[in-house]
Amino acid sequence: MTHPLFARLDRQLARAKEELAHIEAAEQRELRLKRNAPRNYDQWAHNASIAEGIRATYSGLESILEAIAKEIDDFVSTGDSWHAELVETMAFDLSGTRPAVISKTTRELMDELRRFRHIVNHKYALELKRSLVRKNLNLLRKCVPLFEKDYSKFVRVMTKEDDHDGGRSSSLRRAGRRQP
């Protein structure tokens, strides 16, 4: 049986993957419009919509890490740099508590996407350059499947049955957290 935390986070990851699919579809529609009806193409709308999708998808992935950190690491999100600290912390093994949740490569991609999210959150869409949006869409295309692979590996390790008690325990319980 899946731990309730991971059941909830599995749904959240599925939503992030669905959001990426919507971004991909929107990107293709906008590029077709630009090619076939350039007078109707609006670069501002194109950049703003794709940037917002990237921002939302990244935020969804980050919130998965935050939920794990709060439940397992007793992480408290405080200070100006907590987003960066969260992503960095989740790339490291906490001996006796949990393995790394994400790989170094995923962390590096997420760091870039986090910086882009900051731009989207704090600048006008007019300031978004097409090259920056395209670059971050490509980063997201790489990040989501890597994040899913890393997360799946993490869940397998954390929910691995303990051979010593007939499978009644799990790594999550041994990490000191409640499990129904």
Q: Whole-model pTM above 0.85?
A: yes
Has residue 15 been placed in a domain?
Answer: yes
- Which tens digits make up the pLDDT trace of 123-144? 877 789 999 999 999 999 999 9
Which backbone phi and psi does 161 adopt, to 5 degrees? -70, 140
pLDDT of residue 177: 52
Contacts (Cβ under 8 Å, ≥6 apart) of 30: 41, 45, 46, 49, 50
Has residue 180 been placed in a domain?
Answer: no
Distance (Å, whole) CA 90 – CA 102: 6
Name the nearest CA neighbour of 113 among 58, 65, 150. 58
In 4-42, which residue ranges form alpha helices assigned H by DSSP? Answer: 4-36
Question: CATH no. for residue 131?
Answer: 1.20.120
- Which tens digits make up the pLDDT trace of 55-108? 999 999 999 999 999 999 998 888 889 999 999 999 999 988 999 999 999 999
Which residues constitute the domain of residue 104? Answer: 4-171
